Structure 1
Amino acid sequence: MLGVPKTWVLAEARADRVPHVRLGRYVRFEPAQLETWWQSRRRGPQRAGRVGRAA
């Protein structure tokens, strides 16, 4: 889903940098929360169709 290695996602979860739920030794991720998280990290030009600032 994120296009990164599983080890990177687990390391980021250990560092509390991605949304996750810890169930004992297991770590679970909710796709909708990951989608919201990575969309909020977007930088640079926005996609067409989004309202920009008035000139």
Structure 2
Amino acid sequence: MSEFLDGSLAACLDFGHECDIVLRLVVAHRIVNRGISWVRDFAAANFRGMAREMK
């Protein structure tokens, strides 16, 4: 991921205005990934809790 960030920052210096769009995409991508992993962890914890109660 960091290689991609470095590449997009280098592209920013070349393009200027498009830089804004690239950085927004990168930030949105990170937020979505964090959200997905949070939901996955939350669901896994709930599932483990339900499985424990069923025993």
Who wins on radius of gyration, i.e. which is larger? 2
Question: Larger helix proportion, structure 1 or 2?
Answer: 2
- TM-score scaled by length of structure 1: 0.33
